[in-house]
Amino acid sequence: MALAFDEYGRPFIILREQESKSRLRGLDAQKSNIAAGVAVSRILRTSLGPKGMDKMLQSPDGDITITNDGATILEQMDVDNQIGKLMVELSRSQDYEIGDGTTGVVVMAGALLEQAERLLERGIHPIRVAEGFEISSRIAVDHLEQISHKFDFSATNIEPLVQTCMTTLSSKIVNRCKRSLAEIAVKGVMAVADLERKDVNLDLIKVEGKVGGKLEDTELIYGIIVDKDMSHPQMPKQIEDAKIAILTCPFEPPKPKTKHKVDIDTVEKFQTLREQERKYFDDMVQRCKDVGATLVICQWGFDDEANHLLMHRNLPAVRWVGGVELELIAIATGGRIVPRFQELTPEKLGKAGLVREKAFGTTKDRMLYIEHCANSRAVTVFIRGGNKMMIEETKRSIHDALCVARNLIRNNSIVYGGGAAEISCSIAVEAAADKYPGVEQYAIRAFADALDSVPMALAENSGLQPIETLSAVKAQQIKEKNPCCGIDCNDAGTNDMREQNVFETLIGKQQQILLATQVVKMILKIDDVISPSEY
Amino acid sequence: MASMMQPQIILLKEGTDTSQGKPQLISNINACMAVADVVRTTLGPRGMDKLIHDDKGNTTISNDGATIMKLLDVVHPAAKILVDIAKSQDSEVGDGTTTVVLLAGEFLKEAKPFIEDGVHPQNLIRSYRIASFMVDFLNSYPCSILHMNIYDLGAIEKIKELAVSIEGKSSDEKRSLLAKCAATTLSSKLIGGEKEFFASMVVDAVFAIGNDDRLNMIGIKKVPGGTMRDSFLVNGVAFKKTFSYAGFEQQPKKFLNPKILLLNIELELKSEKENAEIRLSDPLQYQSIVDAEWNIIYDKLDKCVQSGAKIVLSRLAIGDLATQYFADRDIFCAGRVAEDDLHRVAAATGGTVQTSVNNVIDEILGSCEVFEEKQVGGERFNIFSGCPSGQTATIVLRGGADQFIEEAERSLHDAIMIVRRAMKNSTVVAGGGAIDMELSRYLWQHARNIAGKSQLFINSYAKALEVIPRQLCDNAGFDATDVLNKLRQKHALAAGWSFAIYFKNKNKKSFSSEGALYGVDINTGGISDSFANFVWEPAVVKINAINAATEAACLILSVDETVKNPKSESAQGEAAGGMGRGRGGGMRGGRGRGMRRR
């Protein structure tokens, strides 16, 4: 920051630590910000599309993540640059709101920034550029609305949903069995969806993974899986028509919360105490038996004495079940969580058709399946895979697919993927540009060019000639007036995405365009960066 | 030796930095100008934002003058005054913080050549005060040309239409007029693209709280994700789902006309008294102690249920036991609700926060039409709407990045303040530099009647006022000189008779022909009638800005000596002298953190 000098020629300090602060102003600030934003988006560019590549990220403590999901990559990259952080948040917002398209939104924002830089070099005021972008984003969003299709689905006809989920999954590592995963995702969402209110609570879908087996073994369970086993190895491994007592109190003698001391001065007293303790255990188990429970699931542990007693009384039990799982079990089985033995009543028991313990391969790991529940509105997707990284990536992919299915239930409009929607918007925006007087026209044209960069990246990643392919598809779209023409990434022989069944959700696309524009505006509006040079 | 050298008399502690006289005055002015330069580019709808990154790694992107000044961490004693006036403008009227700094900087800049030429600062101060007083007079005089009563304008429309339902009509009109004011403030912000959307939201929010002075009755909640158009206003209270225990999901999530119990106690199984100890001599009594503890909590829960409330909120924790107890009885509960949210719920639903569950009577229970837990982006929100007293509103902001939402919040705060001000103080002036040009013209004209050098000073004050339109042009990349000359010409035309016309033919045409209302047209780079284009600001913003800027300028001009005490400012003094930077730097850094927290 420029130093000011007083009349004696001494420099004087206006801001704290002025000398160590660095400051960038005007066009320089904008350019450096744009460069940072573009750099981030370049990293993600190669991950776009079905032929996109994955990134391997190593965290400071050595954990390795391999992923194709934009939000995850950016999250793990630990970006330090301020503008870079904005891009990270951009992709996170898309993740929160839509769950899918996190790579596309960053690529879009990067393309817009590149275009903006060119305009700034020509001397166009950054805010005029941003305003032009805003106008065009509105045009594009309206256009998407027009070219979108509504499709019908019902609880029985889930095919369209599966197709759309497959488009999402095709860019992931799991595309080998995208069909079965897409079906799992859609069935899972349909199971928990409230079609009347068009609401889906994804919390009710549990995604659980276990190393081992093949990806094809991944399954959807109408019930809950808990990574726990029976507290005693000799307890039965399978219970049919289970009545489940869900407890949040330990199998222990109760303790008052207030500090207490029991003065024992005679042998008799000691024996009564001992007797009483034993009686507590007895009572507790008896109580469970009395109400008719055939399985006890407990949030806390219980000591060996209780364990033995439970075994003895032939009451299978599971201990140390986490709070969230406990809640899901309660919802699934229609039971109530009971905080105290005294409150246990037959009505509060949950009901499940089948509870079984399943061992995997040669390992001793066992998991507890609770199936055929009274209320099937809680489901579990159980993922198998060769290694941990694979399972983690599958979890993320399933999450994306679940989000897509949820979005379609909320709003059943789709647009065509494979860059078709972007190309169509680009044509519409380009055509609209001529109607705007003033400098904004340039920005609107630039926006159209930026839209082209998504299909361009798709073509590039698929090993096609980007410029040739794009211009051919664009020409085809205009000639045939067909907004479904996109990049043929899988070499299927047709450019018509309708035939290829490549769909994306309308709201996802709209959100991408709006969010990218918003963040680009924010970046363009900054003309002054003040930062401490080192700390 | 001693006789040859005069012994130096040490009056002040060693290391004290003193400078005095004219040079000191000039250097103060320079410092203030440097600070004003920082915020200069943020003015107006084409103003830019600043990204300020502090040494703790927090980043702020802002366009708000007061926020930037605060974050700049100014240490220069004279320049600090500018920070203070920006803050005072922020707390007084909420908007115009950039304007006030810019004006003060410009007043000082105009004063500088006079000081250099040897004018006594007090002369300048006096003239500035007179000028400011005149401006003030002009502003507060009810029949001035520059003013239009909002209600007056409403009245004109009313006369035209001979409306019957005056009350309902005027409220609707007031709403749209106030929205115009809000839109003007918002146009310079990041959310300017959606200014109409947010302006009407702000006006609705302000109307919802009515005449209540408590600004904290408007809650602003931030949820990342979505676009800004997804933001919405809740006519009631909304807050994020609090931490919940197992069993929460089994509670019903929607109620119609529920009764709401507000508590400030813990509903948990815990020891009743700290440090209490129970001694038992008979082991058989053990169970009774356990039971007693359970009974206490059950008793509390039972009382909550018996009160008939369907929703129980507490500022303190509601434990898992209570959660499950309520779930069993189809009651919704939320623990650890933030204090201001709880107060807002209390105000909205007409309930009272209780610190005991004993004697819960119907009067202290709140109620609302609909309660619902809803998904907003990645969060779940508890939303109370249709509240009886209706004295609250919550704006849920959405946006692509955290900083984006932060800035949107600051902008909305400005807009809310403006609308409230405009409601109370119902006069508005034309923005876009029109009012400043008109005041400037008035002063030029007035200065001609003054004999003596005061004439020069008032002229320079008038010139300083032109900085607002000039900066607006500069920021937008227009030729400021060109636009300013056009404006001067327009305003000179209007002189004297425009106001007569306005009051004689009370119709809309007459304003648009008035030169006095012409300001910078940000879209074309020319000039246009700001009033007709609905670029409106409440008069109080301008009055306060001009007063505060003048006060600050006068204050700085009246200082001719600075004594920096080495004890508290030693690091500062040394660094200014250009030595001891290393150690001093560390100390300064340490204190800097302390300062900011204030």
Which residues, including other chains, have CB under 8 Å from residue B91's CB and lie 6 or more apart?
Answer: none
User: Above 60 in pLDDT, residue A19?
Assistant: yes
Angle B541-B190-A438 (CA atoms, 0-180°, nearest 5)?
A: 100
CB contacts of B227 in chain A (<8 Å) are 511, 514-515, 518
Amino acid at B336: R
A491 catalytic per annotation: no
CB interface of A with B, residues 335-354, below 8 Å: 336-340, 348
The C-alpha atoms of residue B225 and residue B60 are separated, in whole angstroms, by: 18
CB contacts of A339 in chain B (<8 Å) are 320-321, 324-325
Cβ B89 vs Cβ B545: under 8 Å: yes
Cβ B99 vs Cβ B43: under 8 Å: yes
Write the pLDDT tens digit of every residue in A129-164: 998 999 999 999 999 999 888 877 777 778 888 888
> Is A337 in contact with B250 (Cβ distance < 8 A)?
yes
A528 catalytic per annotation: no
Question: Which DSSP category does B6 fall into?
Answer: P
Angle A444-B45-B524 (CA atoms, 0-180°, nearest 5)?
A: 60
DSSP H or E stretch at residue A64: strand A64-67
Residue A82 burial (C-beta neighbours within 10 Å; 0-12, 13-18, 19+): buried
The structure tokens 């609705």 sit at B204
> Is B273 in contact with A258 (Cβ distance < 8 A)?
yes
DSSP H helices, A420-526, are: 420-433, 440-461, 466-480, 497-500, 506-525
Chain B residue nearest residue A335, CA to CA: B250
Report CA-CA distances (Å) from A116 to A126, A241, A425, A517: 8, 65, 18, 11
> Is A96 in contact with B76 (Cβ distance < 8 A)?
no
Query: How large is the greatest C-alpha to C-alpha distance in chain B, in angstroms?
Result: 104
Report the b/e string of B133-172 with b at 16+ CB within 10 A: ebbeebbeeeebbbbbebeebbeeeeeeeeeeeeeeebee
Cβ neighbour number for residue A241 with a 10 Å cutoff: 11
Average pLDDT value for residue range A105-129: 91
Radius of gyration, CA atoms only, chain B: 30
Report CA-CA distances (Å) from B344 to B235, B347, B352, B392: 12, 5, 11, 7
Q: Is B196 on the interface with A (CB under 8 A)?
A: no
> Is B283 in contact with A331 (Cβ distance < 8 A)?
no
Q: Is A199 on the interface with B (CB under 8 A)?
A: yes
Cβ neighbour number for residue A9 with a 10 Å cutoff: 7
A69 catalytic per annotation: yes
The C-alpha atoms of residue B554 and residue B546 are separated, in whole angstroms, by: 12
The C-alpha atoms of residue B433 and residue B237 are separated, in whole angstroms, by: 39
Cβ A445 vs Cβ A428: under 8 Å: no
Cβ B392 vs Cβ B348: under 8 Å: yes
For A368-428, the DSSP string reads EEEEEESS---EEEEEEESSHHHHHHHHHHHHHHHHHHHHHHH--EEEETTTHHHHHHHHH
Q: Whose CA is closest to A354, among A243, A240, A244?
A: A240
Regions of chain B with pLDDT less than 50: 1-2, 140-169, 495-513, 569-598
pLDDT of amino acid A535:
46
- Structural domains of chain B sorted by starting position, each given as residue range(s) with its CATH number in brackets: 17-140+151-160+430-494+515-558 (1.10.560.10), 168-225+400-425 (3.30.260.10), 237-270+291-389 (3.50.7.10)
3-state secondary structure of B48: coil
Q: Is A131 on the interface with B (CB under 8 A)?
A: yes
3-state secondary structure of A361: coil
CB contacts of A86 in chain B (<8 Å) are 401, 403-404
**What pTM was estimated for this model as a whole?**
0.82
The C-alpha atoms of residue B518 and residue B211 are separated, in whole angstroms, by: 33
Q: Is B399 on the interface with A (CB under 8 A)?
A: yes
A519 → closest Cβ in B30, B246, B400: B400
Dihedral sign, Cα of residue B552, residue B558, residue B563, residue B565? negative
- When the pLDDT of each residue in chain A is averaged and rounded to a whole number, the result is 84
Q: Is B243 on the interface with A (CB under 8 A)?
A: no
Cβ B503 vs Cβ B143: under 8 Å: yes
CB contacts of B250 in chain A (<8 Å) are 327, 330-331, 336-337
Cβ A89 vs Cβ A515: under 8 Å: no
Q: Is B5 on the interface with A (CB under 8 A)?
A: no
Report CA-CA distances (Å) from B252 to B93, B258, B329: 44, 12, 10
CB contacts of A70 in chain B (<8 Å) are none
Q: Is B252 on the interface with A (CB under 8 A)?
A: no
DSSP H or E stretch at residue B61: strand B59-62
Q: Whose CA is closest to B73, among B92, B52, B100, B88?
A: B52
CB interface of B with A, residues 519-578, below 8 Å: 523, 572, 575-578
Which of B404, B410, B411, B561 to mutate: most A Cβ within 10 Å? B404
Cβ neighbour number for residue A222 with a 10 Å cutoff: 18
Q: Is B580 on the interface with A (CB under 8 A)?
A: no
pLDDT of amino acid B596:
38
> Is B401 in contact with A93 (Cβ distance < 8 A)?
yes
The C-alpha atoms of residue B419 and residue B175 are separated, in whole angstroms, by: 10
The CA distance from B581 to the nearest CA of chain A, in Å, is 10
User: Above 90 in pLDDT, residue A108?
Assistant: yes
> Is B377 in contact with A82 (Cβ distance < 8 A)?
no
B31 → closest Cβ in A14, A94, A96: A14
DSSP H helices, B234-376, are: 286-306, 320-328, 339-349
Q: Is B269 on the interface with A (CB under 8 A)?
A: yes
Report CA-CA distances (Å) from A463 to A67, A169, A417, A466, A501: 21, 20, 18, 8, 21
The C-alpha atoms of residue A401 and residue A503 are separated, in whole angstroms, by: 12
| Both tokens assigned to A148 | 């979108």
The C-alpha atoms of residue A406 and residue A197 are separated, in whole angstroms, by: 12
The CA distance from A515 to the nearest CA of chain B, in Å, is 6
CB interface of A with B, residues 295-314, below 8 Å: 299
The C-alpha atoms of residue B300 and residue B322 are separated, in whole angstroms, by: 10
The structure tokens 């004594």 sit at B563
The C-alpha atoms of residue B84 and residue B512 are separated, in whole angstroms, by: 38
Amino acid at A174: V
- Return the axis-axis angle of helices A102-121 and A440-461, rounded to nearest 10°: 130
pLDDT of amino acid A450:
93
CB interface of A with B, residues 403-432, below 8 Å: none
Q: Whose CA is closest to B46, among B517, B538, B480?
A: B480
> Is B576 in contact with A11 (Cβ distance < 8 A)?
yes
Report CA-CA distances (Å) from A141 to A144, A437, A517: 5, 21, 11
Chain A residue nearest residue B79, CA to CA: A14
The C-alpha atoms of residue A190 and residue A405 are separated, in whole angstroms, by: 9
pLDDT band at A114 (very low <50, low <70, confident <90, very high): very high
Q: Is B74 on the interface with A (CB under 8 A)?
A: yes
Write the pLDDT tens digit of every residue in A290-324: 888 888 888 887 778 788 888 888 888 888 888 88
Long-range (24+ apart) CB contacts under 8 A made by A146-152 are A147/A415, A147/A416, A147/A421, A147/A424, A147/A483, A148/A413, A148/A414, A148/A415, A148/A506, A149/A413, A149/A414, A149/A415, A150/A412, A150/A413, A150/A414, A151/A412, A151/A414, A152/A412
The C-alpha atoms of residue A93 and residue B401 are separated, in whole angstroms, by: 7
Q: Whose CA is closest to B475, among B40, B109, B66?
A: B40
Instruction: Out of A95, A100, A400, A488, pick the active-site residue.
Output: A400
Residue A59 burial (C-beta neighbours within 10 Å; 0-12, 13-18, 19+): exposed
For A223-239, the DSSP string reads EEEES--BSSTTS-SEE
B401 → closest Cβ in A134, A519, A527: A519
pLDDT of amino acid B105:
92
The C-alpha atoms of residue B266 and residue A56 are separated, in whole angstroms, by: 47
A400 catalytic per annotation: yes
Instruction: Out of A46, A69, A95, A380, pick the active-site residue.
Output: A69
CB contacts of A74 in chain B (<8 Å) are none
User: Above 90 in pLDDT, residue A446?
Assistant: yes
Write the pLDDT tens digit of every residue in A268-283: 888 888 888 888 888 8
A65 beta partners: A57
ipTM higher than threshold 0.85: no
Question: Which DSSP category does A261 fall into?
Answer: E
pLDDT of amino acid B495:
45
Write the pLDDT tens digit of every residue in A412-441: 888 888 889 999 999 999 999 988 888 889
In this structure, the dihedral spanned by the alpha carbons of residues A174, A176, A178 and A179, taken in order and rounded to 10 degrees, is -160
Question: In the A/B pair of chains, how many CB contacts fall below 8 A?
Answer: 269
3-state secondary structure of B550: helix
The CA distance from B281 to the nearest CA of chain A, in Å, is 5
The C-alpha atoms of residue A142 and residue A305 are separated, in whole angstroms, by: 69
A109 beta partners: none
| Both tokens assigned to B258 | 């529920």
